[in-house]
Structure 1
Amino acid sequence: MKNRVITISREFGSGGRTIGRETARKLNIPCYDQELIQHLAAESGFTEEYVKEQGEYAPYSGWLNALTGRTNGLTNQDHLWVLQRRIILDLAEKGPCVILGRCADYILRDSADCLTAFIHADMARRARRIVEVYGQREEAPEKRLRDKDKRRASYYQFYTDTAWGDARNYHIALDSGVLGIQRCVDILAQLF
């Protein structure tokens, strides 16, 4: 029997991490985000900071691979992808859970009873949130948002050949800026 899993993809600053954690708490099931990074770091030998940062970059292609860490035909990012896929499959096999990001929606598409969600909000609300919640500087938070989302989209496209953020690729897309964090939690918990 397949375990019920909620995967949450999210725009940076949309509150997706908070929504995932609160949904898991409400459902009394594990939530994997930082814990997934810790697993990847332990198994890969890379630092958590490296895993967190490089896990959102698509590998370079062509001759640059020779200069950017390609070993045995795989880039460091490719190596992390293989480990990440196995870890996500193992976590979903253990029992119901919430998994944040890391292409979990794609990885689990055929092996878990998955509810896939995409959390988004308008630029102004996300910019305000990263300044207030994450302590980002007030100068140009929009640039930080665009850069982070661009990396996530590129990584997702590279490894899944699917468009990140396209509502057709998720069961539900929630605007946390309009609905609010708690309402998003309630909706996901109800759909679980």
Structure 2
Amino acid sequence: MGKAIASTVISYDAELLEKIAEESGFVKEYVEEHGEESVGKGWIFQVFSARDYQGHSYRDDLWAVQRKIILELAEKEPCVIVGRCADYILRDREDCLRVFVHADPALRAKRIVEHYGERSDSPEKRIRDKDKRRITYYQFYTNLKWGDVHNYHITLDSGQLGTDRCVDILTGLYHS
């Protein structure tokens, strides 16, 4: 959906990963895996895992670089940034539209299989695991609840509306 919306605005997805990897010194795969979700499923894991004696971690370094780059890109030009706590990072910008798109887990599972194919883990399990890691990461770095409607200007149920309609709504908002 982000790519479809980005046909009218610049989108940073792969480019964002490249920029973060280049500036942070981490390989792209590390940035992909740790840049918007916790490696563990619990808040306690996020707080105490892989930290030095001062409480610092590589994930904190990655967060700082990611935050800096997101702020720079948003300052440079109108763009679409999906995930990576960009809604929180850009919360003080009046020109930022904070959006949360959600769908029923069964529909999300169906889309995962259509897009990525079957794997040994069930798509429902992959969604649960990934969402738990996203929730932990988001809460740790923002002190907010991931998916809470109060954090966004608009939330859309792509299961009810369909992805094409969500794209139409968001591009319409951008052009208005």
- Where has structure 1 moved over 4 Å in runs of 4 or more? none
Structure 2 distance, partners of 1:172, 1:50, is 31
Identity within the alignment, %: 58
Correspondent of 1:60 among 21, 43, 46: 46
**1:136 Cα shift?**
3.6
Relative to structure 2, which stretch is displaced further, 32-41 or 51-60? 51-60
CA RMSD of superposed structures (Å):
1.8
What residue in structure 2 maps to residue 37 of structure 1? 17
What residue in structure 2 maps to residue 134 of structure 1? 116
Aligned length: 168
TM-score, with length taken from structure 1: 0.81
TM-score, with length taken from structure 2: 0.88
Is contact 2:100–2:147 with CA below 8 Å preserved after alignment? yes
What residue in structure 1 maps to residue 65 of structure 2? 83
1:56-79 per-residue CA deviation (whole Å, 9 max, x = no partner) reads 1177334x4xxx253875211100
Ranked by relative contact order (alpha carbons within 8 Å, sequence separation 6 or more), the top structure is 1
2:147 equivalent to 1:168: no
Correspondent of 1:108 among 90, 94, 112: 90
Structure 1 distance, partners of 2:146, 2:59, is 18
Structure 1 distance, partners of 2:120, 2:75, is 42
The amino acid of 1:178's aligned partner reads: Q
Is contact 1:131–1:138 with CA below 8 Å preserved after alignment? no
Correspondent of 1:157 among 136, 139, 142: 139
Structure with the higher strand share, 1 or 2: 1
Structure 2 distance, partners of 1:128, 1:148, is 15
Structure 1 distance, partners of 2:65, 2:94, is 18
Where structure 2 has 5 or more consecutive residues not aligned to the other structure, the ranges are none
